[in-house]
């Protein structure tokens, strides 16, 4: 009992995403399993096939930030996802970053601004963000805890910042990466990154041009479109009109 509880407490204190699976009906009642987003685990449910099925479902539920009780024949398992408040990592303290940070905080996100240019990353521009880092993004990213609770938006719109940043992000697994720029700009950047050895598998995960198609033009409107896309991704939605959405 104390072993899994100690690990549970450590993971909560470290603000890491994980799932706790508990048998709530059937054989081995009360057995517990701690599962991490990469599928590694600790604990026992008493059955190898059951454990494998629970791990697959736990990884899926962690990606959706959801909890659920699932029946595996006669055994029912409650899979509870534990996730810290989501974090929005904004690369580039440009004009659009100001309303984007405000929207994100209003929605409960922890906000980190990263920009190597001191004139952009200032407390005057971002008085309330949780973290302000004045360093080059590609130097900072390897030191940050980037997981399925992390959403990244690259607003620098300049290849000398965008390319090293995206290349550094290719070794991480955030829930979302969006990059500002036109379709042609994004196409060129993707081609350059591919030539540098960044995998197509990673590049296909980058949302660019960033944001939902709301028609916005001002920095605040563009920030709203970006935040709307992040929320849609967070809850696994397409982001269309509710009146056209299929009934659940």
pLDDT digits (tens, 9 = 90+) for 161-189: 899 999 999 999 899 999 998 889 888 99
Can you spell out the DSSP letters for 179-214?
E-S-HHHHHHHHHHHHHTT--HHHHTTEESS-S---
What confidence score (pLDDT) does residue 157 get? 80
Q: What is the CATH number of domain 87-234?
A: 3.40.50.720
Secondary structure element (H or E) that encloses residue 42, with its range: strand 41-43
Cα–Cα distance measured from residue 102 to residue 109, given in angstroms and rounded to the nearest whole number: 10
What confidence score (pLDDT) does residue 197 get? 93
What confidence score (pLDDT) does residue 14 get? 82
Cα–Cα distance measured from residue 1 to residue 146, given in angstroms and rounded to the nearest whole number: 30
Residues lower than pLDDT 50 in the chain: none
Q: Which 8-state DSSP code applies to residue 126?
A: -
3-state SS track over 52-96: HHHHHHHHHHHHHCCCEEEEECCEEEEEEEECCCCEEEEECCCCC
How confident is the model over 74-93, as pLDDT tens digits?
A: 999 999 999 888 999 999 99
| Span(s) in the chain for CATH 3.40.50.720 | 87-234
What confidence score (pLDDT) does residue 64 get? 82
Q: Which of 122, 125, 114, 112 is nearest to 86 (CA)?
A: 112
pTM of the model as a whole: 0.82
Q: Which residues contact 42 (CB under 8 A, 6 or more apart)?
A: 4, 7, 33, 34
What confidence score (pLDDT) does residue 100 get? 97
What confidence score (pLDDT) does residue 240 get? 82
């Amino acid at each position: 009992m104390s072993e899994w509880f100690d690990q549970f407490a450590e993971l909560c204190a470290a603000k890491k995403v994980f799932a706790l699976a508990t048998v709530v009906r059937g054989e081995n009642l009360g057995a517990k399993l701690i599962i991490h987003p990469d599928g590694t685990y600790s604990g026992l449910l008493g059955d190898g096939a059951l454990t494998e099925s629970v791990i697959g479902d736990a990884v899926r539920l962690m990606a959706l930030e959801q909890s659920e009780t699932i029946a595996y024949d006669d055994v029912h398992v409650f899979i509870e996802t534990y996730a810290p408040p989501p974090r929005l990592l904004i690369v580039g303290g440009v004009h659009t970053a100001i309303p984007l940070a405000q929207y994100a905080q209003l929605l409960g996100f922890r906000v980190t601004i990263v920009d190597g240019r001191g004139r952009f990353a200032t407390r005057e521009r971002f008085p309330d963000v949780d973290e302000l880092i004045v360093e080059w993004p590609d130097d900072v990213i390897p030191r940050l805890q980037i997981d399925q609770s992390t959403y990244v938006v690259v607003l620098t719109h300049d290849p000398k910042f965008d390319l090293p940043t995206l290349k550094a992000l290719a070794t991480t697994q955030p829930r979302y990466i969006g990059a500002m720029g036109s379709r042609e700009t994004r196409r060129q950047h993707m081609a350059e990154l591919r030539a540098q050895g960044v995998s197509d598998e990673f590049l296909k995960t980058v949302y660019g041009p960033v944001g939902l198609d709301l028609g916005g033009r001002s920095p605040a409107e563009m920030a709203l479109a970006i935040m709307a896309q992040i929320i849609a991704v967070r809850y696994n939605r397409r982001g269309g009109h509710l009146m056209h959405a299929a009934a659940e």
